[in-house]
Amino acid sequence: MDDTRGYSSLGGREQHVDDARLAAAFVSVLKSLGERRKVLALPPDGTRAHSKAGVLLKAAYDHYGSALAAVMPALGTHRPLDAEDIRRFFPGVPERLFLPHDWRHDTVTLGTVPGSFVSGVSEGACAFSWPAQVNRLLVDGDFDLILSLGQVVPHEVVGMANHSKNVFVGVGGKEAIDRSHWLGAAYGIERTLGRVDTPVRAVLDYASAHFASDMPILYALTVIGPDGSGGLATRGFFTGFDRRPFEHAAALSAQVNVTKLERKPGTALVWLDPAEYRSTWLGNKAIYRTRLAMADGGTLVILAPGVDCFGEDPAIDATIRRYGYRGTDSVRALVDSGELADDLAGAAHLVHGSTEGRFRVVYASGLSKDELESVGYEWADPGILTRRYDPARLREGWNALDGEDFYFIRNPGLGLWMA
């Protein structure tokens, strides 16, 4: 949809946009669009708890009232939100508006990106076609505005998260999610992380231009970064119907969400807040986002007291338990043989959760020693490690404790670390 009325930008690298200013800026954009009869909102789920989507959704609800007809969190493969999640992440927005997304059963295909295009943008890493799938509500709901809300941050599959990913993956179908995840993994996570233009982004752009140009999707994108005192701040806010808000948000995210270390850590320690991380599917951001920084032969310790499973989805959990985290070549052989051809998202995660043999991963979580060792990790007691490495007492970055030198990350989902 070509509509310049919705374009707006706010903030910058050194700025701090408070919640009141953020909400007011969003309402100003919504007012500029004129009256809307029926609106759908697509916010991120709890895996983007720091995105300020709750502030944006509440502002939209206050502005539109009953015209905000439905809210569908962009779950992708993640578990649905329960009533407590909705109250925590989206305070002030009625629970009755929230609808779950079923990525396995409740989608329609808008069109297909040709295999020749996929092969071209991936340098031959994949040659399959890609179905542009969305939840059928987007097609059948008769909405005259769709609000795609979320945060732009470095991402292991698409390079920089959000924009059309929120639509075609967040409320996409199984085949689309499977193939996009494997496309990113097959092309190479090191060549993808933190980059604006990647094979998956090119495929999503193709789908947007060819199959969704008539959908009234307004993107409202935040950039969240450190505030300089150990907390977080909204650094930028960008809206629009085209790709511009994503490009500007991604440029800002590259400045505030990418940490460049002068030396590679021999030991890194990552804390996973139990309210946010409950599976290795999410918790392995500790691996994805640090692999460009870790020293060969080093040790990555993950303090994850809330992690008690591997996959957010039972089928993917079973895949991880069966095959374990292994390197690219091994997983590619399983895919090429057809053994993992029906679970390409699971296959991609096996690659992403592997260190390719470069460094050790020690998990201190709710998973047992046998479970962790069966997938290729090492086990540690979470109680003992959390007492030794109390996250509340550690500072982000380099720490020294009893002669031990290590690098500490409080939330791996908020950035990318490289040396």
237, 256, 275: which is the final residue of a domain?
A: 256
How many structural domains comprise the chain?
2
Show Cβ contacts of residue 231 under 8 Å, excluding neighbours closer than 6 positions: none
Q: What is the pLDDT of residue 33?
A: 96
CA pair distance 392, 121, nearest whole angstrom = 44
CB 345 within 8 A of CB 396: no
CATH number at residue 239: 3.40.50.11440
Domain-ending residue, one of 228, 256, 284: 256
330 and 377 belong to one structural domain: yes
Q: Where is the domain boundary, 217, 236, 256?
A: 256
Amino acid identity for residue 259 in this structure:
T
Q: Clarify whether residues 235 and 276 are in a common domain.
A: no
**Whether residue 51 is found in the same domain as residue 190:** yes
Strand stretches in 227-372, DSSP E: 232-240, 258-260, 267-271, 299-304, 360-365
CATH number, residue 392: 3.90.226.30
Structural element, H or E, at residue 121: helix 115-121
| Residues belonging to the chain | 419
Q: For residues 148 and 166, what is the distance between their CA atoms, to the nearest angstrom?
A: 7
Please list, residue by residue across 147-181, b when 16 or more beta carbons sit within 10 angstroms of its beta carbon and e when fewer do. bbbbbbbbbbbbbbbbbbbbbbbbbbbbbbbbbbb
pLDDT attached to residue 82? 87
Helix axes 328-336, 174-187, angle to 10 degrees: 140
What's the Cα-to-Cα distance from 323 to each of 188, 202, 296, 346, rounded to whole Å?
20, 30, 24, 10
142 and 127 share a domain? Answer: yes
The answer to whether residues 191 and 242 belong to one domain is yes
Whether residues 215 and 280 share a domain: the answer is no
Six token digits for residue 210: 């060819």
259 strand-pairing partners: 417
Clarify whether residues 307 and 247 are in a common domain: no
Asked if 134 and 171 count as a contact pair (C-beta separation under 8 A), the reply is: yes
- Report the C-alpha gap between 157 and 169 in whole angstroms: 11
Sequence-distant (≥ 6) Cβ neighbours of residue 79 within 8 angstroms: 312, 313
Same domain, 321 and 399: yes
Shared-domain flag, residues 280 and 222 = no
Yes or no: say if 391 and 230 are a contact pair by the CB < 8 Å rule.
no
Q: Do residue 209 and residue 285 come from a single domain?
A: no
139 and 224, same domain (yes or no): yes
Residue 341 lies in domain: 260-418
Residue 76 has what pLDDT? 82
CB-count exposure of residue 221 (10 Å: 0-12, 13-18, 19+): buried
**First and final CA of the chain: distance in angstroms?**
40
Mean pLDDT by 10 residues, the chain (419 residues): 70 89 97 97 84 96 98 87 91 96 94 98 97 97 97 96 96 96 96 96 98 97 88 94 96 96 97 93 95 97 97 90 95 96 94 96 97 98 93 94 93 94
Nearest to 156 by CA among 130, 184, 183, 182: 184
Burial of 370 (0-12, 13-18, 19+ CB in 10 A): exposed
The answer to whether residues 267 and 391 belong to one domain is yes
Q: How far apart are CA 118 and CA 184, in angstroms?
A: 11
200 phi/psi in degrees, rounded to 5: -65, -40
State both tokens at 133.
């799938």
R_g of the chain, CA atoms, integer Å: 21
Beta bridge partners of 403: none
